[in-house]
Chains A and B, each alone.
Chain A
Amino acid sequence: MIALRTLPAFIKKDFLIEASYRTSFIMQAVGIFFSILIWYFVSRVVNAPPTTPGLEGVDYFSYVLLGLALLHYLSSALVSFGGKVRSEQMTGTLEAMLVTPTSIGTIVLGSALWDFLLTSIKVLAYLVIGRLFFGVVLHVENLLPALLVIALTVLAFSGIGILSAAFVLYLKRGDPITYLVASGSALVGGVFYPPEDMPWLGGWSRFLPTTYALRALRRSLLRGSRFSEIVPDVQALLLFVAVLLPFGIVAFRFAVRKARQEGSLVHY
Chain B
Amino acid sequence: MAAAIRAESLSKVYVKRRSLREVIPHPFRKAERITALADLNLEVQAGEFFGLLGPNGAGKTTLLKILAGLVLPTSGRALVQGVDVARDDQTVKRAIGFMTSDERSFYWRLSGRENLEFFGRLYGLGAAETRRVSATLLGVVEMEPHADRPFMGYSTGMKQRLAIARALLHDPPVLCLDEPTRSLDPIAAKHLRRFVLERLNRERGKTVVLATHNLQEAEELCGRLVVLDRGRILRQGSVAEITAGLPGRDEYVLAVRGLNTPPNGPRWRLSIEHRDGDLARILAEVDRDGSAFSDLLAAILAARATIVSCSRREPSLQEVFDRMSPDEERAAR
Interface residues of A (CB under 8 A from B): 1-2, 5-6, 8-9, 12-13, 16-17, 20-21, 91-93, 95-103, 107, 257, 260-266
Contacts and interface: CB of A to CB of B under 8 A. Distances in A.
B124 A92 contact: no
Contacts of B121: 5-6, 8-9
Nearest to B108: A91
Given A9-B122, A92-B104, A95-B102, A263 B70 contact: yes
Given A92-B105, A100-B93, A100-B122, 8 more contacts: A5-B124, A9-B121, A20-B109, A95-B105, A101-B124, A260-B69, A263-B62, A265-B71
Contacts of A101: 90-91, 93-94, 122-124, 170
A154 B65 CA distance: 35
B169 to A, nearest CB: 9
A15 to B, nearest CB: 11
B122 A262 contact: no
B17 interface: yes
B44 interface: no
A28 to B, nearest CB: 17
Contact of B122 (A12, A102, A263, A266): A102
B126 A92 contact: no
Name which of B68, B72, B98 has the most chain A CB atoms within 10 A of its CB.
B72
Contacts of A261: 71-72, 74
Interface residues of B, number: 41
A99 B124 contact: no
A98 B110 contact: no
Nearest to A9: B121
A6 B12 CA distance: 33
B268 interface: no
Contacts of B17: 262, 264
Interface string B191-203: 0000000000000
Interface string B140-155: 0000000000100000
In terms of DSSP, what is the predominant structure of the interface of chain A?
Answer: helix
Given A261-B72, A263-B62, A93 B110 contact: no
B123 A9 contact: no
A102 B96 CA distance: 13
A93 B104 contact: yes
A262 B123 contact: no
B104 A263 contact: no
A170 to B, nearest CB: 10
B65 A263 contact: yes
A100 B119 contact: yes
Nearest to B97: A99
A13 B118 contact: yes
A260 B70 contact: yes
The 8 closest A-B pairs by CB, nearest first: A92-B104, A9-B121, A100-B122, A96-B105, A263-B71, A99-B98, A20-B109, A101-B93
A77 B86 CA distance: 31
A91 B105 CA distance: 7
Nearest to B74: A261
Contact of A262 (B14, B108, B126, B150): B14
Contact of A260 (B71, B96, B105, B122): B71
B166 interface: yes
A103 B91 CA distance: 11
B7 to A, nearest CB: 16
A262 B15 contact: yes
Contacts of A92: 102-105
A263 B16 CA distance: 10
B239 to A, nearest CB: 30
B106 interface: yes
Interface in B99-148: 100, 102-110, 114, 117-119, 121-124, 126
Given A17-B110, A96-B106, A260 B72 contact: yes
Contacts of A1: 124
Name which of B36, B106, B107, B108 has the most chain A CB atoms within 10 A of its CB.
B107
A8 B91 CA distance: 23
Nearest to B86: A260
Contacts of B70: 95, 98-99, 260, 263, 265-266
A91 B123 contact: no
Contacts of B170: 101
Contacts of B117: 9
24 contacts: A8-B121, A9-B117, A9-B118, A9-B121, A16-B110, A17-B107, A20-B109, A20-B110, A91-B107, A91-B108, A92-B105, A93-B104, A95-B102, A96-B105, A96-B106, A97-B119, A100-B93, A100-B124, A101-B123, A101-B124, A262-B17, A263-B65, A263-B71, A266-B70
